[in-house]
Chains A and B, each alone.
Chain A
C-alpha cells in the first residue's frame, strides 16, 4: 500500500515551479552571445520565386547573416523528411516531393519560408527581414482538397498529377458493395471536418548552439518528441550523427500534436549555429504560428451506412478527400489514412467496411497530427451516420447503438479494417454514461428550458481510440520509418532517492507526477523522493538498441531471439550487418558453448552447439573465438583483401559468403568469463569507424542480457548434469527446501557391476574410471531413452527411476525399464566382445527392478541437500540386486514389478531378502538376457 502511489489523488509535482514563475520554457532560454533569427515568409499561396535579393537587408544594422534557398542548396542540406510513408491502392507508394528547408524555385503556401535573417536582436532581424526583396510571380492557387484533384486545377508539383499524393483505401470494396445491394436502409451524410490551427499557448521556439571544440550541437526546442527531432534534424537533414547532437525539450507550453512535427525552422537555426559559431534563437510569433505550425483535420467526406430492417449495420462506405497542404509533413499522410480508416469500425459489428481516402496536396499550410489525429475524424463520420440512421429509421439513438455493439463475450474481435480489439464492454460504458448524464430526464430539462425561451440539446457519441502505435514491427508494416516504442531508466541513488529518466515528453499531461506514482508503488520509495527527468536526449533513454538490450531483451524468450532482434535493430539503425554471431560459454559436459548466428541472406538465427573438440581442432592463434574469449582481444579484420592476408580460417568462409569486414569483441561475463560477439558486413569498403564505435557500444548492454541467459544455461546444464534432466529443472524452479518432496509411484532401477572390487585392485585408477564411464554411458543412454531418470551413482552402482502415473503408466514404466535393462546389458556385452584385452571391457552388470512408492524430493542436512528418493521400496530394490549377484542373474525383478508388468516372466521362486520379514517371489525375463 502506498498513500501517494497508483490511483491516489496527489497534487502535481510540476505545479510549484509553474505557479511560482520558475518554469523553463524555450522562450526563457538565453545562451551567452546568442543572436536571433527571423524568417521571411511568402505572402502568396502559390508563386514562382523569380529572385530573392538580400543585398539591402545584409547592410541593415546588426545583421549577421542571411540565408536563402540557394544557400541551402549550396550547403547540400536535405529536405524535411517524412517519418511515416503510406502506400496506396495497388501497392502504389505515396508521392513524396522534396520539402526544402527554405523555398527553392517556388512557394507553395502562405508562410512558406523564403529566407532567414540573423541579427543581434529580434527587432533588428525583423527590420532587416523587411528589406529582403523577393520577386514573386503569383500562380493560380488551390486550397480545397476536392477542388485540387479536379482536371485543370493548378498543380502544386509538376510531377504530381491531380495533386494526388496518394489514393489510399482499406477494406473490401466488393463485399461492402454487396452488403449495400441488399440493405433495407441506407443512411448518407456529407461532412466537412474543418481545418484548424493547433495554437499551443507557447509558440514554437528553438535555441541552437555549437561547440567548435568538440563539434557538438545542442538544440533547445519546444518539441513533443525530442528524440525524433534528434534523428530527423540531426541525422537526416543536417548529417550530424546522433552522438554529436543533443536535443533538449524543456517545459513545454502545450503541444497538441503540432509540436511532434519536425520543422525546417529548428533545422535551420541548428545549422546556422554551426555556421556562425554563435547560439541562434528563434521564437515564433503568434501570427507566424498560424502560417507555419502544422494544422489539423481538413477532410471532406461522403459516407453511407447500410442497415438491415432491424437497424443492424451491414455495411459502411466512406470516401474522403484529405488535405495535407503544400508539403508532406512528418506524419502528415499517415493521419488521414492509417489513423483514420482502421478506426471506422468503432465499437460496432459492421461486417463490411470500405474506406477510400484521396490524400491531396493544396496551397495551404501542411496538416499533421492534432489532438487525436485521424481518430476523432473517423468517429465523427461514423457517429453522425449512426444518429442519422436512427432518426431516419425512427429508432432510439441509444437502442440503435446497443443493437450494434460488439458483445462483451466475443473478444478478441477482429474488425474488417485491420484492427483487432483485445477487450471491451461497451454496453457497461454506455449504461454508466446514461446514468451519469441523466439521459432519460433530458426531455424534462428540454421542456423547462423551452419555457424560458431557450433551446437545449443533447448528443451522444462512442469513441474507439488506437493509442500507442505498436509494436514497432506492425507500425513498420504500416509505413512507419522507425520503431515506435518508449523506454525509461530508473536510477536509485546511494541515499535512496530515485531518478526516473524517460524518453516520453510531457507537454501538460503531468508525467512527473504520474510516473513518480508508478515508481513509488513499484519500488515502495516515497513519492517525494522520486524525480522524473525527461526531454533531454543526453539524459533520457531513446531505447533504440542499448535500452532494449538492458530491458526488454531480458524478457525475450531465448538468446537466439535476442540475437535475431539485435540484428534487425542494428540494421534498422543503419548499421550494415550481414552476419551477427553471439557465442557463449555454457559449462556443459559435452559442449564448449553455444553460438547464435544471424545471417542476413536467410533472415534467420540458428543455434549451433560447439563441442569441446572444436577448441582443439583450430589452434589458438587462428581461432578468433578462443582469442576473444580467453585472451579478451578485440579483433578487426578486413576480409576484402588477398586470401593470403586472411589469418583466420573462418575469414575465408566469410569472404566466400560476400563479407568485407569482420569485427569480434569480448562481452564481459560473470566470474571472469567472456562471451564472444562478432559482426560481418558485406558492404563495399567495410564498416566505417563510426560504425565500429556503435557496434562496439552494444557489447556492454548486451552483456547484461547475455549474462542472464548464459548464467541460466550454465545453471541448467550443471544441474541437469548432476541431478538429471527432470530433477534439475525442479531444483532450478525453486524446489530447494528440505521437506519439499512428493510421493510418487515409480519403477526403481538398481544396477551394479560384478567383480568390481577385484577389478579396481588390479588396474590403475584412471582405467577404472574409464571403464566405469563406459558402463555408465551405456546404462544412461538406455535409461534416458526409455524415460528413466538417473538419480545417483554410488561407486559402481546406479540408482534410477522410471516414474509411473496410474495403472497404465505403471505397466508402461515397467515395460520401459525392462527394455532399458536389456539394451544396457546387450550394449555392455557387445563392448566386452569387442575388447582386445581384459580390463578394457566393461565388467558384467546386474540390474534389479522393483515397483513401489517413494518419497521424491530434497533430503539431507539443512544446508546440504540431495534430491533423491527414499522409502522401503528403495531398500527392497537394492536387496533384490544383491540376490541377482548371488544368483548370477543379469536381470532380476520383484513381485510388485511382475504384477504391474503383466507380461511373461519366469519365476525364480521365493527368496528371503536381507532385513525383510517375508520372502519375496523374484522373476527374470522369459528370454534370458545373458545367453
Chain B
C-alpha cells in the first residue's frame, strides 16, 4: 500500500492505495466520487475526464500515485451549492445530454477548451471533442452548449472586470 496526498475539489485528501490504482479508481472507489465514469478503460471514450492542475486528462490512464500533491477537479467540484457552473447550465439549456453517462467527461473537457480557446469556433469544439464519445445525442447540441457555455464564462470574466 502506498500513501498519497492530493487536493480533490479544493479539499486535501490522503489515501492508502495499491500502487497500481488508477486515478479513476481512486476517485470512484476510494473517494466515492462516482460522477467520473468509466466507459472504456482504454483512454478512448473520455467519460472519465477530470482536471489535473487545470488541464483535462483521462483519469483511467493515469496512476493515482502520479497525482501526488496535485490539484484534481472533478464534475462534483463545479457547481457552487445548488448553482450550476455556466458550462453545466449551458448543457442543461441546450439539451446537450440524454442518458448522461458521457456528460461529466464532456463538461470537464469543454471547460479546458474554454480556458484554452476563450471563444471557440464550432470547428474548434468539434476538433477538441475528438476524445469524447457520446452515443445518444449526435453532438449537435453538445457543440451548441459548449459554444454557449464558453460565451457565458467569457461574459462572466468581462463582467468581473467591469
Contact = CB atoms under 8 A, between A and B. Distances in A.
A256 B134 CA distance: 13
B92 interface: yes
A188 B74 CA distance: 56
B10 to A, nearest CB: 15
Interface string B90-113: 011101011111111001000000
Interface in A208-253: 251-253
Contacts of B20: 123
B30 to A, nearest CB: 11
A123 B133 CA distance: 26
Contacts of B91: 15, 19
B74 A285 contact: no
A741 interface: no
A20 B101 contact: no
Given A15-B97, A201-B134, A202-B99, A20 B35 contact: yes
Nearest to B137: A508
Given A203-B39, A286-B41, A510-B98, A19 B88 contact: yes
Interface in A860-900: none
Interface SS majority for chain B? loop
A22 B104 CA distance: 10
Nearest to B133: A201
Contacts of A256: 135
A508 B137 CA distance: 9
B17 to A, nearest CB: 12
Nearest to A14: B100
Contact of B100 (A18, A199, A203): A18
Given A23-B35, A202-B37, A286-B41, A253 B92 contact: no
A19 B149 CA distance: 13
A21 B39 contact: no
Contacts of B40: 286
A346 B16 CA distance: 62
A27 interface: yes
Interface string B69-100: 00000111011000010001001110101111
A21 B97 CA distance: 13
B140 to A, nearest CB: 15
Contacts of A25: 34, 37, 101
A420 to B, nearest CB: 33
B63 to A, nearest CB: 14
B45 A201 contact: yes
A252 B37 CA distance: 12
Contacts, number: 108
B36 interface: yes
Interface residues of B, number: 39
B153 to A, nearest CB: 15
Nearest to B32: A30
A14 B99 CA distance: 9
Given A21-B75, A21-B76, A285-B41, A201 B92 contact: no
Given A21-B75, A508-B99, A253 B41 contact: no
A16 B97 CA distance: 11
Interface string A17-37: 111111111011010000000
Contacts of A507: 99
A12 interface: yes
Contact of B34 (A27, A123, A286): A27
A200 interface: yes
Contacts of A28: 28, 34
Contacts of A22: 35, 76
B92 to A, nearest CB: 5
Contact of B136 (A27, A30, A508): A508
| Best-buried of A21, A28, A199, A510 by chain B (most CB within 10 Å) | A21
B67 interface: no
A11 interface: yes
A254 B92 contact: no
B88 A20 contact: yes
Given A15-B91, A28-B34, A201-B134, A21 B74 contact: yes
A444 interface: no
Nearest to A9: B95
A203 B44 CA distance: 14
A493 interface: no
A15 B97 CA distance: 7
B99 A252 contact: yes
Given A21-B33, A201-B101, A286-B39, A12 B92 contact: yes
A21 B35 contact: yes
Please classify how large the interface on chain A is, using the bins under 10, 10 to 19, 20 to 34, 35 or more. 20 to 34
B39 A20 contact: no
Contacts of B99: 200-202, 251-254, 507-508
B131 to A, nearest CB: 14
A25 B35 CA distance: 10
B114 interface: no
A849 to B, nearest CB: 76
A253 B37 contact: yes
A830 B132 CA distance: 98
B47 interface: yes
Given A27-B38, A254-B99, A21 B136 contact: no
Contacts of B84: 16, 19-20
A249 to B, nearest CB: 12
B42 interface: yes
A14 B41 CA distance: 26
B152 to A, nearest CB: 14
A840 B12 CA distance: 106
Contacts of B38: 27
Contact of A254 (B36, B88, B93, B135): B135
Contacts of B42: 286
A194 interface: no
Contacts of B35: 20-23
A16 B101 CA distance: 13
A509 interface: yes
B81 to A, nearest CB: 11
Given A20-B76, A200-B135, A201-B47, A509 B104 contact: no
Contacts of A510: 98
B100 A251 contact: yes
Contacts of B134: 201
A252 B135 CA distance: 12
Nearest to A285: B41
A11 B93 contact: yes
Nearest to B20: A123
Interface string A506-517: 011110000000
Given A20-B79, A256-B135, A509-B98, A15 B37 contact: no
Q: Count chain A CB atoms within 10 A of each CB in B33, B41, B88, B101 and give the residue with the most.
A: B101
A481 to B, nearest CB: 29
B102 A201 contact: yes
B25 to A, nearest CB: 9
A901 B93 CA distance: 79
A222 B100 CA distance: 14
B97 A18 contact: yes
Contact of B39 (A123, A201, A252, A508): A201
Interface in A1-56: 11-12, 14-25, 27-28, 30
A510 B78 CA distance: 23
Contact of A19 (B39, B97, B101): B97
Contacts of B98: 254, 508-510
A17 B97 CA distance: 12
Contacts of B74: 21
Contacts of A203: 39
A11 B88 CA distance: 13
6 contacts: A16-B84, A20-B79, A21-B36, A253-B102, A254-B98, A510-B98
Given A20-B84, A22-B35, A25-B37, 16 more contacts: A12-B92, A12-B95, A15-B91, A16-B84, A19-B79, A19-B92, A20-B75, A21-B36, A25-B101, A28-B28, A201-B99, A201-B102, A202-B37, A251-B100, A253-B100, A254-B135
Q: Across chains A and B, which 4 residue pairs bring their CB atoms closest together, nearest first?
A: A21-B35, A18-B100, A253-B101, A508-B99
